[in-house]
């Protein structure tokens, strides 16, 4: 087996990390996300060794406005 | 590195009780016809390692291990697998708790549960034939994307939450708009706007004479004003009840109607009495008609009472005449019934059933006594007249009715109701104010609600858009990663494929994850100038090869992911591949997976030989077994030469009946000849059924071996003995006859000894193979490492096969007991000859005598 092929196979040994890397690349390329959303996701990924198990920082962006609404009413 | 060592199976699938499978370091090569229990061993290995069995538990076929895992005659299944963890043996069975095992063994079993190491022909074809989505699902189990999948699923769950919240908010908005439109009396399809609401509310305020609104901000101020104007109407609920009572009293029917119907009823009753008096007696028309029907239907010829003869026509004429005579009476009866019904209906209209309750609610007191007495009287009249009473009673009851008193009671009600109504303010005014307040409050509340919920909807839509983007990115990320993996899989697979099909213009498979959809895999491959679905152009053999190479590539990558699992199991995967490609496939498997323990089953004896041959190049030994046959009662039975050889030299063989010895030795000889004719390239007469038995094989073999001088010199004695006695096998085994019953122990031992001697000359235990013809060495016959080697031309006596060797017969003739002792002595003699310590027959005989003396002394 060639060294190149061996290297490729080894790189794919942890497919979770490969998928997460792909996610980060696509996230970086995306122009449609609002800055606060992008920041939340980037911060989330930065603190994750493995793919994130807790995505509450994104959920806060979803519920934050609703909480404001509740308090207003 | 963990290796499988021994597999003991009881009551599993086609296995009743063994035989046990001893697994060498290299692995196992198992050959047997279809339905002889090969796959049962694979099922057992998969089940005990992974707690699942892919041939049964994959769903969709209604099969499961719990239903079909046990042998149909066995209540319980037992699987005991001994593995060697590098230091010691570890036993695993179906009840083993993984958490109690050492970390290394745990890792091995966890990897087995996560990864692909078993390939069956069905799995291979399923993968090729599956729809793209199914193909993805088939491979998803082995992608090891659990952690990333959990992340992606969380995002998808969040998107679902947002969708649900959005749906609720939009429904809430619609409900508020609908309620507001109802309050403002707007059309259903009319849009809601502040101006439209303001105009509508101002119209209502204008009617009520209240200052108009300039903007909707002053709504609360107007609400306060309207509420102040409504204070005098605080008892408006009572007013509504009094009004309802007034409406009811207005509708009480005239008493004249009651009086009239009562008199008509009385008159009808009196007329009936008068007619009855005229007719002198009662008359029942129904009795006459019914009696006549009975007489006609029963066809009576005599009267049942007086026994006089009956003429049906006379009876009918008599009945008709009587009815005609009473026509007037019948008519009066009908009129009376109608008058009775009309009178009862009139009484019902003066019953006033609910008036007492309504009065109590409106006036908070009981209904006036005079009226109450009258309605009680009406109730008693109704009860009286529903039952049949005499005309006198009817007359009296009508005369006694207190008509004037009743009319006065109704008037009292009217007076009190009018008095109460006069005490309330203007109800029209109340309606105007009430509507003004209702519209003001509704406009204020619902417009605010609509504004809030619209704000929420806008926020949720933004969130929905962003989460959709994240889900999309997550999916693309996964697909990109999977595609990278698949690209590598196909690159590795193509490397394998080209080793089997070099320069054939096919291969270059591609597994593609389409960008659309949540997960599917397209399979395409090259066929000369065409690129597309391999099933379009590939032969069955090519498809088998492609499926196998893809699986091997996945196994290779999984091994990188989890190197603790170095096991490859191929269950009868080669069906349609031709001989040359099968040889290449066998070589590929043992070359590329020399770092794996390999377990292969096949139904094909030729591929079995190729596999055995290819496995010789491995640094490790392989267990090789051929399953002779299978029965429901006993399961699989080993039928390979080693098993027969072991049996013949065992205690069982030593004490066996002569006929059994000959049968076993015959089976061993037959398989030896099949292997040797194949390995040495000896031409045999073609048999279309492929049943190459001793007869045709031996004749060709016996002629051919004479051309190899060295081999013939070494084996001449045993060959001639076999030539002399070879028909024993046929007589005893296939054509049992009287002659066979006279078979002597000496004849059986002579035949068996000769066969065992031939086995010793042709089979190398070190290389686990029969000798083969090596064309590059001028037709030398030798095993892989040339432990046994025979030159075509005799040069000199070799250590292994020289004339100095003492054979089975010579040792038997020296009084050595048959069986293990002879085998052991032959082996020891060979070692001595190899070491050069024995070079003559005399030395050999001397050595044997010494060994026997030593043995006798010891025993």
- Closest approach of chain B CAs to the CA of A68, in angstroms? 10
Nearest to A26 among B143, B473, B484 (CB): B473
Closest to B480 (Cα-Cα) out of B509, B510, B519, B507: B519
Which DSSP letter does residue B60 get?
S
Using CA atoms, how far apart are residues B6 and B177, in angstroms rounded to an integer? 77
Query: Is the four-CA dihedral B849, B853, B856, B859 of positive or negative sign?
Result: negative
Q: Are strands B772-774 and B780-782 parallel, antiparallel or unpaired?
A: antiparallel
Mean pLDDT by 10 residues, chain B (859 residues): 91 88 92 88 92 75 79 86 91 90 90 82 76 74 80 91 93 92 87 90 93 89 90 80 87 88 91 78 68 75 71 81 78 89 90 90 91 90 87 89 90 91 82 90 93 93 92 91 85 86 73 64 74 75 84 87 90 80 90 93 84 84 84 81 77 80 85 86 75 82 89 90 83 58 81 91 83 79 84 58 59 67 77 76 79 71
Contact B700, B684 (CB under 8 A): yes
Enumerate the domain spans of chain A. 3-72
- pLDDT attached to residue A49: 63
Within a domain: B697: yes
The answer as to whether B763 is a domain residue is: yes
Residues B659 and B786 in one domain: yes
User: B480 touching A, CB under 8 A?
Assistant: yes
Across the beta sheet with B522-527, the strand order is: B506-512, B522-527, B530-532
Q: What is the pLDDT of residue B606?
A: 78
User: Cβ A19–B477 below 8 Å, yes or no?
Assistant: yes
Do B780 and B656 reside in the same domain of the chain? yes
Q: How confident is the model at residue A66, as a pLDDT?
A: 46
Collect all residues with Cβ–Cβ distance below 8 Å to B627 and sequence separation of at least 6: B30, B31, B32, B33, B36, B37, B38, B636, B637, B638, B639
Residue B473 lies in a domain: no
Q: How far apart are the C-alpha atoms of B158 and B329, rounded to whole Å?
A: 89
The answer on B665 and B599 residing in a single domain is no
Residue B348 lies in a domain: yes
d(CA B739, CA B659): 11
Bridge partners (DSSP) listed for residue B118: B569
Specify whether B581 is located in the same domain as B694. Answer: no
The structure tokens 């006089």 sit at B308
Handedness of CA B270, B273, B274, B275 (dihedral sign): positive
B716 and B605 assigned to the same domain? no
Q: What's the pTM value of the predicted model, to 2 decimals?
A: 0.55
In a domain, B220, yes or no: no
> Could you please report the per-residue DSSP string of B123-154?
HHHHHHHS-HHHHHHHHHTTS--HHHHHHHHH
**Does residue B276 sit in the same domain as residue B342?**
yes
B766, part of any domain: yes
Nearest Cα to B22, choosing from B93, B100, B81, B106?
B81
Rounded Cα–Cα distance for residues B361 and B203 (Å): 36
The count of domains in chain B is 3
Contact B571, B120 (CB under 8 A): yes
Q: With H, G, I as helix, E, B as strand and everything else as coil, classify residue B352.
A: coil
**Res B238: pLDDT:** 86
H/E element holding A7? helix A3-11
> What contacts B446, CB < 8 A, 6 or more positions away?
B176, B177, B179, B180, B183
Q: Are B571 and B691 found together in one domain?
A: no
Residue B262: which of B325, B370, B346 has the closest Cα? B346
Which residues of chain A lie closer than 8 angstroms to B592, CB-CB? 1
Strand partners, B27: B598, B622
Domain boundary pick from B795, B813, B832: B795
DSSP codes of every residue in A16-57 = HHHHHHHHHHHHHH-SSS-HHHHHHHHHHHHT-SSS-S--HH
* B73: preceding bond cis by omega (within 30 degrees): no
d(CA B166, CA B458): 9
Q: Closest CB to A65: pick one of B459, B557, B560.
A: B459
Whole-angstrom distance, CA of residue B573 vs CA of residue B124? 8
C-alpha pair distances (Å), A23 with each of B137, B161, B239, B370, B828 = 22, 22, 72, 92, 69
3-state secondary structure of B845: helix
Residue B699 and residue B591 in one domain: no
Tell me which residue of B483, B434, B438, B9 sits closest to B231, measured CA to CA: B434
Query: Is any Cβ of chain A less than 8 angstroms from the Cβ of B154?
Result: yes
Q: How far is A28 from chain B (nearest CA, A)?
A: 10
Half-sphere exposure of B270 (CA within 13 A, CB side): 10
As a whole number of angstroms, the longest Cα–Cα distance in chain A is: 68
Six-digit token string for B532: 């597309």
Instruction: Assign B51 to helix, strand or coil.
Output: coil
Answer for the pair B210, B440: CB distance below 8 angstroms, yes or no.
Answer: no
What residues make up the domain containing B102? 1-115+562-636
Rounded to whole angstroms, how far apart are CA atoms B817 and B808? Answer: 10
The tokens describing B34, both together, are 């279809």
Q: Do B452 and A72 count as a contact with CB atoms less than 8 A apart? A: yes
Pair of tokens at residue B150 = 């959990």
Q: Judge: B459–A66 Cβ closer than 8 Å, yes or no.
A: yes
Query: Taking CB atoms and an 8 Å limit, are A16 and B476 in contact across chains?
Result: no
- Sign of the torsion formed by the C-alpha atoms of B697, B699, B702 and B705: negative
Q: How far apart are CA B700 and CA B693, in angstroms?
A: 12
- The two structure tokens encoding residue B157: 């769950």
Q: What is the pLDDT of residues A13-68, one digit of tens each?
A: 888 889 999 999 999 998 888 888 888 888 888 776 666 767 777 777 777 654 44
Q: How many CB pairs under 8 A join A and B?
A: 122
Q: How far apart are CA B368 and CA B420, in angstroms?
A: 14
Task: Say yes or no: B620 and B681 in one domain.
Answer: no
**Using beta carbons and an 8 Å cutoff, which residues of A are at the interface with B?**
1, 5, 8-10, 12-16, 18-27, 30, 32-34, 37, 41, 50-53, 55, 58-59, 61-62, 65-66, 69, 72-73
Which of B373, B404, B422 delimits the end of a domain? B422
Place of tokens 């049992």: B736
Query: Which of the 8 DSSP states describes residue B70?
Result: B
Which residues in chain B are closer than 8 Å to A55, comparing Cβ atoms?
151, 154-155, 158
Q: Is residue B538 part of a domain?
A: no
Alpha-carbon distance of B135 to B519, in angstroms, equals 9
Cβ-nearest to A34 among B165, B466, B561: B466
Given an 8 Å threshold on Cβ–Cβ distance, is B481 in contact with A13?
no
Is B561 touching A (CB cutoff 8 A)? yes
Domain presence at residue B767: yes
CATH number of the domain residue B9 falls in: 3.40.50.300
Shared domain for B3 and B81, answered yes or no, is yes
- Tell me the C-alpha distance between B430 and B422, whole Å: 15
- pLDDT score recorded for residue A71: 37
**B697 and B756 housed in the same domain:** yes
What's CA B134's distance to the chain center, in Å? 14
Report the DSSP pairing between strands B597-602 and B567-571: parallel
What pLDDT is recorded for position B735?
Answer: 47
Q: State the Rg of chain B over Cα.
A: 55
């Amino acid at each position: 087996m060639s060294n190149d092929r061996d290297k490729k196979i080894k790189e794919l040994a942890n497919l979770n990390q490969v998928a997460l890397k792909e996610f980060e690349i696509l996230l970086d390329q995306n122009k449609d996300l609002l800055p606060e959303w992008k920041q939340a996701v980037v911060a989330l990924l930065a603190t994750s060794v493995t793919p994130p198990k807790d995505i509450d920082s994104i959920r806060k962006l979803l519920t934050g406005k609703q909480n404001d609404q509740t308090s207003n009413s | 590195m963990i290796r499988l060592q021994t597999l003991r199976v009881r009551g599993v699938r086609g296995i009743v009780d063994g035989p046990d499978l001893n697994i060498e370091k290299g692995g196992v090569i198992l050959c047997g016809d279809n339905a002889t229990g090969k796959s049962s061993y694979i099922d057992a290995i998969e089940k005990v390692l992974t707690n699942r069995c892919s041939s049964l538990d994959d769903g969709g076929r209604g099969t499961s291990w719990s239903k079909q895992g046990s042998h149909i005659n066995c209540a319980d299944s037992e699987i005991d697998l001994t593995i060697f963890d590098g230091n010691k043996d570890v036993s695993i069975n179906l009840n083993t708790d993984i958490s109690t095992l050492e970390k290394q063994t745990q890792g091995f079993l966890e990897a087995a549960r996560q990864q692909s190491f078993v390939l069956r022909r069905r799995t291979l074809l399923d993968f090729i034939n599956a729809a793209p989505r199914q193909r993805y699902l088939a491979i998803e189990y082995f992608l090891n994307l659990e952690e990333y999948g959990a992340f992606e699923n969380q995002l998808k769950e969040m998107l679902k939450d947002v969708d649900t919240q959005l749906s609720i908010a939009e429904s809430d908005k619609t409900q508020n708009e609908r309620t507001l439109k109802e309050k403002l009396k707007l059309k259903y399809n009319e849009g809601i706007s502040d101006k439209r609401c303001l105009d509508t509310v101002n119209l209502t305020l204008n009617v009520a004479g209240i200052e108009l609104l300039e903007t909707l901000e002053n709504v609360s101020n107007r609400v306060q004003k309207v509420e102040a104007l409504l204070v005098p109407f605080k008892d408006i609920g009572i007013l509504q009840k009094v009004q309802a009572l007034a409406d009811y009293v207005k509708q009480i029917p005239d008493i004249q109607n009651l009086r009239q119907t009562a008199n008509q009823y009385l008159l009808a009753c009196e007329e009936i009495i008068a007619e009855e008096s005229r007719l002198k007696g009662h008359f029942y028309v129904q009795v006459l008609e019914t009696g006549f029907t009975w007489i006609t239907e029963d066809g009576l010829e005599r009267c049942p009472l007086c026994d006089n003869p009956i003429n049906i026509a006379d009876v009918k004429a008599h009945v008709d005449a009587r009815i005609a005579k009473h026509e007037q009476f019948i008519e009066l009866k009908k009129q009376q019934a109608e008058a009775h019904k009309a009178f009862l209906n009139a009484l019902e209209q003066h019953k006033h059933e609910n008036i007492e309750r309504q009065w109590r609610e409106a006036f908070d007191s009981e209904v006036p006594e005079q009226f109450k007495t009258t309605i009680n009287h009406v109730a008693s009249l109704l009860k009286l007249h529903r039952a049949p009473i005499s005309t006198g009673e009817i007359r009296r009851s009508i005369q006694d009715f207190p008509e004037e008193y009743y009319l006065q009671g109704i008037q009292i009600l009217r007076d009190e109701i009018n008095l109460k109504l006069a005490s309330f303010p203007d109800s029209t005014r109340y309606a105007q104010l009430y509507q003004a307040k209702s519209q003001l409050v509704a406009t204020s509340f619902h417009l605010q609600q609509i504004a809030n919920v619209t704000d929420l909807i806008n926020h949720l839509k933004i969130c929905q858009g962003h989460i959709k983007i994240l889900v999309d990115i997550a999916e693309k990320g996964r697909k990109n990663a999977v595609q990278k993996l698949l690209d590598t899989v196909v690159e590795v697979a193509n490397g394998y494929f080209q080793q089997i099909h070099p320069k054939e213009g096919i291969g270059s498979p591609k597994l593609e994850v389409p960008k659309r959809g949540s997960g599917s895999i397209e399979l395409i491959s090259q066929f000369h100038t065409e690129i597309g679905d391999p099933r379009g152009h590939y032969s069955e053999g090519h498809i088998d090869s492609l499926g196998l190479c893809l699986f091997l590539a996945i196994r290779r990558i999984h091994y990188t992911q989890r190197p603790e699992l170095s096991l490859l199991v191929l269950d009868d995967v080669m069906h349609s591949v031709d001989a040359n490609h099968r040889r290449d496939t066998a070589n590929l498997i043992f070359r590329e997976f020399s770092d794996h323990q390999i377990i292969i089953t096949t139904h094909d004896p030729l591929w079995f030989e190729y596999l055995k041959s290819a496995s010789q190049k491995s640094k490790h030994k392989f267990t090789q077994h051929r399953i002779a046959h299978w029965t429901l009662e006993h399961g699989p039975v080993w039928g390979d030469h080693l098993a027969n050889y072991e049996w013949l030299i065992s205690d069982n063989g030593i004490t066996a009946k002569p006929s059994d010895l000959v049968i076993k030795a015959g089976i061993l000889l037959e398989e030896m000849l099949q292997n040797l004719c194949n390995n040495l390239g000896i031409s045999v007469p073609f048999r279309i059924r492929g049943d190459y038995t001793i007869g045709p094989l031996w004749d060709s073999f016996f002629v051919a071996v004479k051309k190899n001088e060295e081999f013939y010199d070494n084996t001449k004695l045993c060959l001639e003995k076999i030539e002399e006695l070879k028909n024993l096998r046929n007589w005893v085994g296939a054509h049992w006859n009287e002659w066979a019953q006279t078979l002597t122990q000496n004849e059986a031992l002579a035949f068996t000894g000769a066969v065992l001697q031939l086995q010793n000359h042709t089979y190398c235990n070190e290389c686990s193979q029969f000798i083969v013809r090596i064309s590059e060495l001028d037709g030398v016959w030798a095993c892989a490492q040339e432990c046994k080697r025979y030159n075509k031309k005799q040069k000199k006596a070799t250590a292994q096969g020289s004339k100095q060797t003492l054979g089975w017969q010579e040792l038997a003739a020296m009084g050595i007991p048959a069986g293990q002792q002879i085998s052991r002595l032959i082996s020891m003699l060979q070692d001595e000859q190899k070491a050069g310590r024995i070079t003559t027959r005399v030395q050999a005989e001397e050595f044997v005598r010494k060994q026997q003396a030593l043995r006798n002394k010891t025993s």
